[in-house]
Amino acid sequence: MLTAGIDIGSITAKAAIFEAGKLLATKVIFTGYNAEAAGQKVYEEVLGEACLEKAFIEKIVSTGYGRNSVKFADKSYTEIMCHAAGAHFLNPHIRSIIDIGGQDSKAILLDDNGKVKNFVMNDKCAAGTGRFLEVMARAMEVNLDEFGAMSIKSKQPSKISSLCTVFAESEVISLIAKGEQRQDIIAGIHESIAARVSSMVGRVGIKEPVMITGGVARNIGVVHALEKKLGMKIEVSPYAQVNGAIGAAFLAALL
């Protein structure tokens, strides 16, 4: 049975194709201003990647903030449920997921069957999300992709105490002016995001093993800072960004 999962996030749209419980293909594109068109486009592109025609796909599940604009989906689930399914598919032992996306971050607690037991979301504030890192990368004039590698060189992360993105940005600028090392400032930024996320995670009572998903999972500096803060090992999903779409395709097979 062939199924598809489509995850329309606020910044990127993701798609995944499953065949008989195996992942065939994935695709990521920018969502742009038209979520409906992005859904169509990412679906067509992932089909191209897998060399398949629409007619072969039996079931489609949509997820993400734009889930209701995917009109051709058979069903939609929230990204909470899909992230849980995706992580469970990749590693059935996972009990907690930390997902840090572009606009929000969330922590999901799973039961022994991989079902969602509880979740908590931070979506009111940019601090603790990918957006925070983007703002900081601009202030630092460093490419965001280099953040991870640079920060692990740091011996003495700078202290960034502001909880607010705007205040933290001016703090960073004053650290630059003071002549602090770049890698230290970046490591400090990662520690600050880790502090934010760990206080949110504390609200659901996280259980090991933990998996991190979402675009920010690719930043090794954030992962290390979080591991240090939480005092536990964190498994990075090999499909961090498309984990929700994978979960959706997985759930579609159960329809």
Q: Report the interface residues with other proteins, using CB under 8 A.
A: 65, 77-81, 104, 115-121, 123-124, 203
Closer by beta carbon to other proteins, 115 or else 153: 115
- Measured CA to CA, the distance from residue 221 to residue 147 in angstroms comes to 7
In the complex, the smallest distance separating the C-beta of residue 213 from other proteins, rounded to whole angstroms, is 15
In the complex, the smallest distance separating the C-beta of residue 118 from other proteins, rounded to whole angstroms, is 7
- Measured CA to CA, the distance from residue 91 to residue 240 in angstroms comes to 13
In the complex, the smallest distance separating the C-beta of residue 106 from other proteins, rounded to whole angstroms, is 9
In terms of Cα–Cα distance, which of 145, 138, 127 is closest to 195?
127
CB-CB contact of 5 with 15 (8 Å)? yes
Closer by beta carbon to other proteins, 202 or else 238: 202
In the complex, the smallest distance separating the C-beta of residue 184 from other proteins, rounded to whole angstroms, is 34
- Measured CA to CA, the distance from residue 107 to residue 122 in angstroms comes to 9
Instruction: Dig out the tokens for 115 from the structure.
Output: 């079902």
CB-CB contact of 3 with 58 (8 Å)? yes
CA distances from 18 to 22, 119, 134 (A): 5, 26, 32
In the complex, the smallest distance separating the C-beta of residue 66 from other proteins, rounded to whole angstroms, is 9
- Measured CA to CA, the distance from residue 45 to residue 49 in angstroms comes to 6
Closer by beta carbon to other proteins, 117 or else 207: 117
Closer by beta carbon to other proteins, 36 or else 146: 36
Angle formed at CA 193 by CA 133 and CA 188, multiple of 5 degrees: 85
Closer by beta carbon to other proteins, 56 or else 167: 167
Estimate to the nearest angstrom the gap between the alpha carbon of 55 and the chain centroid: 30
Closer by beta carbon to other proteins, 159 or else 203: 203
CA distances from 74 to 33, 58, 86, 87 (A): 23, 9, 18, 22
In the complex, the smallest distance separating the C-beta of residue 161 from other proteins, rounded to whole angstroms, is 20
In the complex, the smallest distance separating the C-beta of residue 121 from other proteins, rounded to whole angstroms, is 6
Q: How many other CB atoms are there within 10 angstroms of residue 51's CB atom? A: 8
- Measured CA to CA, the distance from residue 60 to residue 11 in angstroms comes to 21
Closer by beta carbon to other proteins, 119 or else 147: 119
